[in-house]
A and B are shown apart, each in its own frame.
Chain A
Amino acid sequence: MALLELESLHVRFRTREGELEAVRGMDLAVEPGECVAIVGESGSGKSQTLLAATGMLAANGTASGRVAFEGESLLGQPARLARVRGPGIGYVFQDALGSLTPHLTVGAQLAEALAVHHGVSAADARTEARRMLERVQVPDPDARLGQYPHELSGGTRQRVAIAAALMPQPRLLIADEPTTALDVTVQAQVVALFRDLRASLGMALVLVTHDLGVVAGLADRVIVMYAGRIVEEGPAVALFASPRHPYTAGLLAALPRLDDDLAAPMRTIPGVPPGAGRDAGCAFRYRCGHASGRCEVRPDLAGSGSSRVACHHPRDPGGGS
């Protein structure tokens, strides 16, 4: 049984300009211990998918479809959601300083999560908090326990935020842009940390990012989202080697490489992502070099085995670019 399952998940927001559909029918299954990366530009619906799955949409948002964790349906079940959040699903957000409560010490915040879920005594929770800080490689953990978030450096804050999410021992960790706000060197450290943690704790990881470098370092499977839908999914190695959707190929081409000519302009995908209006065709067709009349009808997500793509003009599997 899959750990987390989403079936035709839709997320809508009521806004002043009318209804806005951020996620338009999303299917996803995460197996225990697996690492799935969801990539796409900002606004593609990747964060909203996971916020909806954990019942944490903003007040003007509604989710429909099916969300199940370990077989238990979660949508519209606040009591179950409350049980699952923490020991079932942990969540690490992009904004590390923002994720920590400013007026509570690191020790208090770490211990709280454990005490609430596992009824551990304050002293034991504190010992466990110290062990967790060691585990996420925070230097001088004893001193950190008594410090406030604003007294820590950016990298340490993110490690503490990760530690806080790990305290209730979740079976699935969602990491939403965990490295975006960090320096490049710290980013690499955090990626290494996730790899270690996955190996030692055996938990599943869903990584939301637009940084394909992070994906390459961690993910087993990659899901590419565009305008609220999956446009391509497949094993990380295969997808990186031969992207089939023109959008995926564009994303990969836009990735800076070490051998880049620094003087040359950055490669980007021309155009901007579409707004969330209703459209019967392929959402990417306005920015796509291969678009044809067929693209006025939306392609289904189809394919063989574990690789699937939603495109009328998929690139040749062996072709690369």
Chain B
Amino acid sequence: MLGYVLRRLLGAIPTLAVIVVLAFLLTRLAPGGPFDEEQALPPEIKANLERAYGLDQPLPVQLGRYVAGLLRGDFGPSFKFKDFTVTELIATGLPVSLKLGLAAVLLAMLVGIPLGVLAAARHNSAVDHAVTGFAVLGIAVPVFVIAPLLALVFGIHLGWLPVAGWTPGTVRDMVLPVVTLALPVIAYIARLTRGSVLEVLRSPFVRAARARGIPGRRVLTRHVLPAALVPVVSYLGPATAAVLTGSLVVETIFGLPGLGRYLVQGALNRDYTLVMGMVIVFAALMIVLNLVVDVLYAWLDPRMRPGRRR
């Protein structure tokens, strides 16, 4: 298993390399630069700035420098946040985004899976219809609508929770952002789990387990659930993508100093190095999380285990 993980990590390097080169080329080939906005700078100052940031060099040299920097953990200077390097911004933003994202995915699983199982176990009951309805709603209502609505109801009308801000270490600040990020994922996971459990319930090994007299609840937890969770686990990759994407909106709306907000700021300001740095970190996160998903997969379904075939 360890060898498998290492092999997968090695296999991710080309993917990451392609993304780095792609992002680099796209940013450099584009018309317009970070110093084009607002009032036009005098040409000599612009030239000076470009020289200072190495933008006057030929492309391959720039790419070489950038990659060499990356290998040392140096993502270059931020054009807009002039007092910070991109690495420093990542260092401050990553913990915030990771906490937010992990909490959201965890919450989504902890709520979504039981909801789905409950709906399936009481197929066609009122509970089932309620869960299905909620799932449909959660899939059609985007994060950028949920966020202001939740803030409006819980933050402003009820005044229970803060609508903005980030004090390190406080849970209260995280509640609304995490719930906002988790809601659509909860909806999807609930729907997925429900369908999957219903399908596994019809499978012959469940009938055989019941025929052996295994009690219903035990059949559900030991025979049905592990098999039913396989599609849920494979959804974790897309779920992570959804949470990362949602974090752009959530961090912006709730004013959290995370990677997503830096990416949006970078995008609005054409801050190439910042955008590229964030994109690379996000891609690395996705790759690692997809690997975690595959390992979980093998744990749930012995047929998926590497090197264990008849």
Please report the C-alpha to C-alpha distance between residue A100 and residue B309 in the assembled complex, in whole angstroms. 17
Q: Are B210 and A56 in contact (CB under 8 A)?
A: yes
Flag whether A90 is at the interface (Cβ < 8 A). yes
Per-residue CB contact flags for chain A residues 75-97 toward chain B (1 = under 8 Å, else 0) read 00000001111110011010100
Q: Which residue of B lies closest to A105 (CB)?
A: B302
Q: Are A117 and B213 in contact (CB under 8 A)?
A: yes
Complex interface: stretch among B30-38, B63-71, B215-223: B215-223
Q: Are A90 and B208 in contact (CB under 8 A)?
A: no
- Per DSSP, are chain B's interface residues mostly helix, strand or loop, or mixed? helix
Flag whether B7 is at the interface (Cβ < 8 A). no
Q: Are B212 and A101 in contact (CB under 8 A)?
A: no
Interface size class of A (residues with CB under 8 A): 20 to 34
| Residues on B with beta carbons closer than 8 Å to the beta carbon of A95 | 204
Q: Are B213 and A116 in contact (CB under 8 A)?
A: yes
Q: Are B203 and A165 in contact (CB under 8 A)?
A: no
Flag whether A103 is at the interface (Cβ < 8 A). yes
Interface residues of B in 54-98 (CB under 8 A from A): none
Q: Are A103 and B212 in contact (CB under 8 A)?
A: no
Please report the C-alpha to C-alpha distance between residue A102 and residue B228 in the assembled complex, in whole angstroms. 12
Per-residue CB contact flags for chain A residues 150-181 toward chain B (1 = under 8 Å, else 0) read 11110000000100110110000000000000
Please report the C-alpha to C-alpha distance between residue A103 and residue B303 in the assembled complex, in whole angstroms. 8
Please report the C-alpha to C-alpha distance between residue A102 and residue B205 in the assembled complex, in whole angstroms. 8
Residue from A102, A113, A148 within 8 A of B212 (CB atoms): A113
| Residues on B with beta carbons closer than 8 Å to the beta carbon of A168 | 212-213
Nearest Cβ on chain A to B304's Cβ, whole angstroms: 10
Flag whether B285 is at the interface (Cβ < 8 A). no
Flag whether A275 is at the interface (Cβ < 8 A). no
Q: Which residue of B lies closest to A116 (CB)?
A: B214
| Residues on A with beta carbons closer than 8 Å to the beta carbon of B226 | 103
Q: A85-B210, A90-B211, A102-B303 are in contact. List 20 more A-B contacts (CB 8 A).
A: A59-B123, A84-B213, A86-B212, A91-B211, A93-B207, A93-B211, A98-B205, A101-B205, A101-B208, A103-B227, A103-B301, A103-B302, A104-B222, A112-B214, A113-B212, A117-B213, A148-B303, A150-B302, A150-B310, A153-B310
Interface residues of A in 128-148 (CB under 8 A from B): 148
Flag whether B175 is at the interface (Cβ < 8 A). no
Please report the C-alpha to C-alpha distance between residue A116 and residue B214 in the assembled complex, in whole angstroms. 7
8 A-B contact pairs sorted by A residue (CB < 8 Å): A56-B210, A56-B211, A99-B204, A101-B223, A102-B227, A116-B215, A148-B302, A151-B309
Q: Which residue of A lies closest to B299 (CB)?
A: A103
Residue from B210, B212, B302, B308 within 8 A of A167 (CB atoms): B212
| Residues on A with beta carbons closer than 8 Å to the beta carbon of B301 | 102-103
Flag whether B286 is at the interface (Cβ < 8 A). no
| Residues on A with beta carbons closer than 8 Å to the beta carbon of B212 | 85-86, 90-91, 112-113, 164-165, 167-168
Per-residue CB contact flags for chain A residues 21-34 toward chain B (1 = under 8 Å, else 0) read 00000000000000
Flag whether A48 is at the interface (Cβ < 8 A). no
| Residues on B with beta carbons closer than 8 Å to the beta carbon of A54 | 211
Interface residues of B in 91-130 (CB under 8 A from A): 123
Q: Are B213 and A113 in contact (CB under 8 A)?
A: yes
Nearest Cβ on chain B to A299's Cβ, whole angstroms: 35
Nearest Cβ on chain B to A175's Cβ, whole angstroms: 11
Please report the C-alpha to C-alpha distance between residue A54 and residue B223 in the assembled complex, in whole angstroms. 20
